[in-house]
């Protein structure tokens, strides 16, 4: 039993590839019924495309389920740590998972027109890839099912993979125009919220500011919250800060989702004394 199942998430095999099952884990609100039409959030874990596992966003999923959303955490194929191959299969799996969720919306009790995607670091890249990239579609997927989410919540995402201060150039190489979400911003992109620490060594603040500017120039909604003095992964639940930035980012995530009608009322997670310092 993995971390997701230990927290009450139900496993579903969304794809079989290379002789293995790929699983996603679904957390539902209390009293949830298949006949419901609730908004959903699909989370992708970080790990540089070479590590990590579903479970990074378990506390986020539990919180959003308490706010009435169905949450999904996705397992995807990882790259060889010593290799140089680009993250095509990671993107392919990310799209397959979102297509599976949308195609199975009636039995999951999900509104197929209110599916958000989120992720951290490389998982943020994959969430963004489902929205911005037209390449890397599994030939076994149903192309009639749209993998594009209706909103994005990205935690220090490596969504720029180009030579302009991007991350992942060793793997992406000259394919950044194809594989880098930040290089594929167009009108009609999903509303997007990005969290970043000012001292993130992988993602300069200027990269996030340019993405926001490019989105807004295209007529797309894009918000950026930069947390002073914070590095990569600052938002995780078990941080050295006692969870302050987990709480702060979750509250802001909830407010953003509420602005889209995915949650209602005020956030239920309480900030503690000192969290705003």
User: Is 57 a domain residue?
Assistant: yes
What is the Cα–Cα distance from 63 to 268, expressed in whole angstroms? 9
Contact 167, 161 (CB under 8 A): yes
Q: 206: buried, middle or exposed (CB in 10 Å: 19+, 13-18, 0-12)?
A: exposed
DSSP H or E stretch at residue 266: none
pLDDT 10s digit of each residue in the chain, 277 long? 788 998 899 999 999 998 999 999 999 999 999 999 999 999 999 999 999 999 999 999 999 999 999 999 999 999 999 999 999 999 999 999 999 999 999 999 999 999 999 999 999 999 999 999 999 999 999 999 999 999 999 999 999 999 989 999 999 999 999 999 999 999 999 999 999 999 999 999 999 999 999 999 999 999 999 999 999 999 998 766 788 999 999 999 999 999 999 999 999 998 888 787 5
CB atoms within 10 A of CB 22: 19
pLDDT for 239 = 63
Contact 101, 82 (CB under 8 A): no
What is the Cα–Cα distance from 98 to 78, expressed in whole angstroms? 17
pLDDT for 238 = 75
User: Is 273 a domain residue?
Assistant: no
pLDDT for 240 = 62
pTM, full prediction: 0.97
Tokens at 30, concatenated: 């209390």
User: Is 277 a domain residue?
Assistant: no
User: Is 138 a domain residue?
Assistant: yes
User: Is 275 a domain residue?
Assistant: no
Q: Where are the alpha helices (DSSP H) in 104-243?
A: 105-108, 122-132, 169-172, 176-179, 205-217
Q: Which domain holds residue 67?
A: 3-259
DSSP H or E stretch at residue 228: none
CB-based contacts of 186: which residues, under 8 Å, 6+ apart?
132, 218
User: Is 269 a domain residue?
Assistant: no
pLDDT for 241 = 72
User: Is 50 a domain residue?
Assistant: yes
pLDDT for 40 = 98
Count structural domains, the chain. 1
Q: DSSP character for 55?
A: T
The domain that holds 154 is classified in CATH as: 3.40.50.1820
What is the Cα–Cα distance from 34 to 53, expressed in whole angstroms? 27
Torsion angle defined by CA atoms of residues 270, 198, 46 and 137, in that order, rounded to the nearest 10 degrees = 110
> Which residue in 75, 78, 77 sits closest to 50, CA to CA?
78
pLDDT for 2 = 86
User: Is 268 a domain residue?
Assistant: no
CB atoms within 10 A of CB 186: 12
Q: DSSP character for 214?
A: H
């Amino acid at each position: 039993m993995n971390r997701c199942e230990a927290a009450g998430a139900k496993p579903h095999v969304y794809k079989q590839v290379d002789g293995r099952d790929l699983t996603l884990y679904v957390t539902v609100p209390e009293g949830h019924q298949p006949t419901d039409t609730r908004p959903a959030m699909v989370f992708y874990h970080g790990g540089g495309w070479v590590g990590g596992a579903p479970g990074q966003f378990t506390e986020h999923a539990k919180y959003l389920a308490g706010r009435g959303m169905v949450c999904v955490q996705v397992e995807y194929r990882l790259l060889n740590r010593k290799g140089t191959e680009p993250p095509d299969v990671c993107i392919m799996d990310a799209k397959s998972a979102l297509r599976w969720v949308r195609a199975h919306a009636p039995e999951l009790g999900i509104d197929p027109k209110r599916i958000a995607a989120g992720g951290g670091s490389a998982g943020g890249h994959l969430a963004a890839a489902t929205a911005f990239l037209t390449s890397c579609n599994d030939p076994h997927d149903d192309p009639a099912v749209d993998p594009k989410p209706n909103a994005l919540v990205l935690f220090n995402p490596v969504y720029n993979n180009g030579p302009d201060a991007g991350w992942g150039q060793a793997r992406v190489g000259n394919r950044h125009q194809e594989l880098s979400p930040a290089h594929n911003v167009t009108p009609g992109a999903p509303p997007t919220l990005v969290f970043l620490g000012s001292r993130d060594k992988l993602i300069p603040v200027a990269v996030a500011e340019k993405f926001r500017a490019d989105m807004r120039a295209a007529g797309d909604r894009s918000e950026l919250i930069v947390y002073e003095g914070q590095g990569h992964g600052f938002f995780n639940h078990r941080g050295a800060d006692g969870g302050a930035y987990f709480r702060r980012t979750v509250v802001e995530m909830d407010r953003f989702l509420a602005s889209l009608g995915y949650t209602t009322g005020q956030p239920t997670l309480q900030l503690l004394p000192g969290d705003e310092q």
